[in-house]
Amino acid sequence: MSFACVFPGQGSQSLGMLSALAERYALVRETFEIASEALSFDLWNLAQQGPEEALHRTENTQPLMLTAGVAVWRVWRLQGGPMPRMMAGHSLGEYTALVCAGALDFATAVTLVAQRGRLMQGAVPSGEGAMAAILGLEDAQVVAVCAQAAKGQVVEAVNFNAPGQVVIAGHAAAVERALELAKKEGAKRSVLLPVSVPSHCQLMQQAAQRLQSTLAMTDLNPPLTPVLHNVDAEARSEAKAIREALVRQLYSPVRWVDTIQTMSRGGVKTVLEMGPGKVLTGMNKRIDKGLLSVCVQDAESLELALASTQGEH
C-alpha cells in the first residue's frame, strides 16, 4: 500500500460537520448512535445543532472528533476502500487511528476519550492555561523563546505541526511572554488559540497519571495496520507499549512533522485525512509537497480518495 490514513484532533470540529456525508450514507448516523449510547447523550444533535460552546468543550469535542473519524473510516471501508500502509492521528486523533486499526473497541474509546477530556479540563483551573501558534520561526528558536519566557512557570513547544508552524502551551502569563519574545525574534504571526486546556505540556502530568489508571484496565489488541504514535513517530504492537505512549502523549509534544516524514520514507505517496476540517491536509502539504493529500469528509472527496487508491488491495 502506498497510502496512509490520518485522523484529526481537536480544532477540526464545526457545527454541521459530516452532514453531507450522513445524507448519502446511513452508516454515519449509525456510528454516532453507538457513541451516543456509550455517553448517554445525543452526540449527532450536538454536532449539528450545538450549542457551539458545548461543541468546543474538551470533554465533548474529544468523543465527537473520534466518532467523526471512525464514521468516515467505516464509510471508506463500506465503499471498498483498502487498508492503508500505516495510520496516525493528531493528538486525540491517535485514539481514532487505534480504533480504525482494530486495536481499541469503538464504544470503549468513546468513553475513554470523554474521560481524557474531563481529566485534561480538570488539570488546570480555567483561565490559567493557554495555547498559541507561532508562525515563521525555526523549531529551535521557539524552544529557546519558551525557555527564556518561562521564569519559573511552564511554557513549552508542544505541537511541531509543519515547518515554521509550532504551537506552544503552558501558564497563560508565560505563553504571553513567549509571544512577545517570538515577535522580537521575527515571528511572522502568533495567535492565541481558542482552547480551554494547555495540552501536551508538563501541566498535564497529573491528568496523565489518572489516565494511566484507566488505560491499565482498557483492553488493547495489536493494531492490524501500524499506527505511528505522536511521541516519537514510531509504531507499537504490544498493549503495554501502546498504553505507555498514550500516557506520555498527554504531556509530550506532538511530533507531526516527524510522523509525516516517517510515512514518506516508508513509501507512502498519498495521505488521506479521515474526518472534517482539512487541518492536517494543509499541514501535510507544507511538510512534504511531494505527497498527495486529500481530506475525506463528503461524497465528492470520498470518490476522489477512492480513485487515488484504486488497485491497492
Q: What are the tens digits of pLDDT across the range 227-241?
A: 999 999 999 999 999
Dump pLDDT digits (tens) for 20-78.
Answer: 999 999 999 999 999 999 999 999 999 999 999 999 888 999 999 999 999 999 999 99
Q: How far is CA 311 from the centre of its chain?
A: 29
Query: What pLDDT does residue 195 have?
Result: 82
Catalytic residue among 56, 171, 200, 229: 200
Do 211 and 92 meet the contact criterion of CB atoms below 8 Å apart?
Answer: no
**Other Cβ atoms within 10 Å of 5 Cβ, number:** 32
Segment 229-255 mean pLDDT: 98
Segment 261-282 mean pLDDT: 96
186 φψ region: left (φ > 0), alpha (ψ -120 to 50), beta (else):
left
Query: What pLDDT does residue 123 have?
Result: 94
Query: What pLDDT does residue 11 have?
Result: 86
Burial (0-12, 13-18, 19+ Cβ within 10 Å), 189: exposed
Dump pLDDT digits (tens) for 142-182.
Answer: 999 999 999 999 999 999 999 999 999 999 999 999 999 99
Concatenated DSSP letters of 250-280: TTS-EEHHHHHHHHHHTT--EEEEESSS-HH
Segment 246-253 mean pLDDT: 98
Query: What pLDDT does residue 196 have?
Result: 75
Average pLDDT over the chain reads 96
Exposure of 186 in the CB half-sphere (CA atoms within 13 A)? 5
Task: Band the pLDDT of 312: cuts 50, 70, 90.
Answer: low
Burial (0-12, 13-18, 19+ Cβ within 10 Å), 202: middle
Q: Residue 313 above 80 pLDDT?
A: no
Q: Does residue 200 have an active-site annotation?
A: yes
**Other Cβ atoms within 10 Å of 156 Cβ, number:** 24
Task: Band the pLDDT of 1: cuts 50, 70, 90.
Answer: low
What are phi and psi for residue 78, nearest 5 degrees? -60, -35
Dump pLDDT digits (tens) for 90-112.
Answer: 999 999 999 999 999 999 999 99
Catalytic residue among 36, 91, 293, 301: 91
Q: At what angle do helices 106-123 and 205-216 cross, to 10 degrees?
A: 160
